[in-house]
Amino acid sequence: QTRAVLLTAHGTADHVKRDLRAQGHQVHDATCPLVKRAHLALDKLVSEGRHPVVIGQRDHVEVRGLVGDLSEYSIVLREEDLDQLAGKPRLGVVAQTTQPLARVEELVEAMRTRFPEADVRFIDTVCQPTKDRQEALPRLAAECDVIVVVGGPESNNSKKLTELARSLGRTAYQVASAAELRPEWFAGAQVVGVTAGTSTPEAIIAAVRAWL
């Protein structure tokens, strides 16, 4: 049996840590400080007697960690998900740290519009590196023919960057490493832009730039 257990940057519920320690494991918690901040924000909202709402992907490990200690909560990602909030007088809202901020703000506004009688408190938990990349991408797209997003296939913020680049009218490819790059992607391209997910190691980004 493995004695040492490493918890990933995505975070986990407190009861999971307690269970692991009770089983005799040595727990090493590598949760990102910005994810820890989201946990603290949600705890604060619950302590105020608010119904906890997480804007994010239901099956994402970070979201599962955020709600893992709660007996009652709602997870929303699109406006049709707001039905479950009807009749709840006090709402406390946080977001998965890698969600696009514009979409998060749209959903919070939709909550306030749809339930004007509800007291809605939103704490912005989208991490700053995610915001910086999303805000910089339109400027990058304006200068480039093709955009390469460096990030693993399971990286939510990398996928969102790829989707944003394509929505801006640019050809975009998401790769986990330089080994996935293909010369034919860049035929006729004059300028290639590179961006990356927030957790992509610098060495992998450097290898992609070196290949290009």
| Active site members | 62
Question: For residue 161, with 0-12 CB atoms within 10 Å meaning exposed, 13-18 middle and 19 or more buried, which class applies?
Answer: buried
CB 156 within 8 A of CB 60: yes
Look at strands 74-76 and 51-55 and give their pairing: parallel
Distance CA 45, CA 28 (A): 27
**Residue 182 structure tokens:** 């293909």
Distance CA 13, CA 85 (A): 23
**Residue 105 structure tokens:** 């703000």
Alpha helices in the chain (DSSP H): 14-22, 33-47, 61-67, 101-114, 128-143, 156-167, 202-211
Q: Which of 29, 32, 25 is nearest to 7 (CA)?
A: 29
